[in-house]
């Protein structure tokens, strides 16, 4: 066990966190006997009182129990029945966050059915990040949370999470797939569908401002794979950045249509709000859908996208995302391997990619 503690943080919490990681990872299994507080104090170079404080915190959380005459053993059951749900932005402030609003509702309902409470953390505006993180940190320090589900991370929230590596948490399902199956991925499926419909020059528009670099690289790799498997030269352009609102979608469409390559044969927009903006811009330019240009969306179930013809879409269910994140969190809490399945979208064929009804 790594026995280096830093001196600018409470030593008993550092020691407790190290022991907790061993328990949650299974290195210290249920029923295992812990070293005595004297042995822990010697190993980590702290006082016996500090070791006792660390043990007291773990005992209060239900991770360990002392059996008189025998010693202290791993119990593996934190007493709290509350899971936190944290957002890096105020997702209740605009229509562009409808997906996260729906996921939050699904999380609360599904956790309640499983006997869990929820606690919500989000900044009311950009200036309230520090206050939100202080409230979250206080609840973590006071052991009020059994775990944390994280969505829509901001840079401040990302940095806070890096400073709390021992906290049990589940990440946004779109950024935490344990394995990547390209043929089941929505990016590959959408591009493949358009290619099989005869489109070649595609503009793929995605909201990438909250995505990790490796997620963006994966998306571009999936686009290339769809072309390669069909023996076609890559003729798709990828457009990241802001694409999560009507205005952002219009701006993306304008940039694509005014670009050096000219108008693509079809748009594939990976955001329902952004797709609305793309459609508005195409209509403003009097471009016929699908006569002049095809349009496909990655959309969320329950969100309507106005279109002059029935829109072809890959539809994601917020409840599926919520269920996946809950399984991640509960598996870590219970010390077992998570049974995770990719969240696969449902193809709903409309008329916006030239389909005939």
Note the pLDDT of residue 174. 44
pLDDT, one tens digit per residue, over 7-58 is 667 888 888 888 888 887 778 887 888 899 999 989 888 899 998 998 888 8
For the chain, what percent of residues have pLDDT higher than 70? 92
- In order of 70, 152, 340, the CA distances from 173 in angstroms are 43, 11, 10
**Interatomic CA distance for residues 96 and 106, integer angstroms:** 18
For the chain, what percent of residues have pLDDT higher than 90? 46
Q: What mean pLDDT comes out for the span 74-92?
A: 81
- pLDDT higher at 263 or 69: 263
Band of pLDDT at residue 131, cut at 50, 70 and 90 = very high
Band of pLDDT at residue 172, cut at 50, 70 and 90 = low
pLDDT, one tens digit per residue, over 273-297 is 999 999 999 999 999 999 999 999 9
Q: What is the DSSP letter of 59?
A: H
**Interatomic CA distance for residues 48 and 54, integer angstroms:** 10
- Taking a C-beta distance cutoff of 8 angstroms, is the pair 171, 328 a contact? yes
Note the pLDDT of residue 29. 82
**Interatomic CA distance for residues 141 and 11, integer angstroms:** 13
Say if residue 1's pLDDT is above 50.
Answer: no
Note the pLDDT of residue 132. 94
Q: What is the DSSP letter of 345?
A: P
Note the pLDDT of residue 176. 38
**Interatomic CA distance for residues 40 and 42, integer angstroms:** 5
Q: Name the pairing type of β-strands 147-151 and 169-170.
A: parallel
pLDDT, one tens digit per residue, over 292-345 is 999 999 998 888 899 999 999 999 898 988 998 999 888 888 778 888 777 788
Q: Which of 23-32, 125-134, 250-259 has the highest mean pLDDT?
A: 250-259
- In order of 51, 177, 230, 240, 300, the CA distances from 215 in angstroms are 42, 10, 23, 12, 19
- Among candidate residues 117, 130, 118, 116, the one with its CA nearest the CA of residue 88: 130
Phi and psi angles of residue 238, each rounded to the nearest 5 degrees, phi first: -105, 130
Band of pLDDT at residue 244, cut at 50, 70 and 90 = confident
Q: What mean pLDDT comes out for the span 57-62?
A: 76
Note the pLDDT of residue 6. 66
Say if residue 178's pLDDT is above 80.
Answer: no
Cβ neighbour number for residue 170 with a 10 Å cutoff:
26
Note the pLDDT of residue 76. 53
Q: What mean pLDDT comes out for the span 148-155?
A: 87
Q: What is the DSSP letter of 22?
A: H
Note the pLDDT of residue 195. 98
- Taking a C-beta distance cutoff of 8 angstroms, is the pair 326, 118 a contact? no
């Amino acid at each position: 066990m790594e026995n280096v503690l830093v001196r600018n943080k409470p030593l008993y919490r550092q020691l407790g966190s190290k022991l907790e990681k061993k328990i949650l990872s299974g290195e210290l299994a249920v029923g295992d006997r812990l070293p005595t507080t004297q042995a822990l104090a010697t190993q980590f170079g702290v006082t016996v009182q500090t070791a006792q404080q660390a043990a007291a915190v773990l005992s209060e959380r239900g991770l360990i129990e002392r059996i008189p005459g025998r010693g202290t053993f791993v119990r593996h059951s934190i007493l709290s029945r509350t899971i936190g749900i944290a957002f890096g932005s105020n997702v209740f402030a605009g229509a562009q966050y409808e997906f996260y609003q729906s996921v939050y509702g699904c999380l609360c309902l599904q956790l309640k059915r499983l006997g869990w409470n929820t606690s919500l953390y989000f900044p009311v505006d950009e200036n309230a990040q520090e206050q939100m993180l202080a409230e979250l940190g206080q609840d973590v320090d006071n052991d009020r949370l059994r775990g944390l589900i994280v969505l829509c991370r901001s840079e401040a929230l990302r940095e806070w999470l890096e400073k709390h590596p021992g906290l049990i948490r589940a990440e946004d399902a779109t950024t935490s797939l344990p394995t990547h199956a390209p043929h089941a991925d929505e990016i590959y499926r959408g591009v493949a569908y358009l290619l099989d419909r005869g489109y070649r020059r595609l503009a793929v528009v995605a909201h990438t401002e909250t995505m990790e670099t490796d997620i963006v690289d994966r998306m571009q790799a999936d686009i290339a794979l769809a072309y390669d498997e069909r023996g076609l030269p890559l003729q798709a352009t990828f457009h990241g950045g802001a694409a999560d609102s009507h205005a952002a979608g219009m701006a993306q469409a304008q940039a694509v249509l005014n670009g050096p390559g000219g108008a693509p044969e079809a748009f594939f927009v990976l955001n329902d709000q952004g797709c609305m903006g793309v459609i508005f811009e195409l209509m403003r330019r009097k471009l016929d859908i699908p006569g002049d240009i095809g349009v496909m969306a990655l959309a969320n179930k329950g969100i309507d996208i106005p279109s002059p013809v029935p829109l072809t879409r890959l539809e994601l269910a917020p409840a599926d995302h919520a269920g996946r994140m809950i399984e991640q969190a509960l598996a870590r809490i219970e010390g077992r391997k998570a049974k995770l399945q990719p969240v696969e979208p449902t193809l709903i064929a409309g008329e916006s990619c030239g389909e005939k009804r």
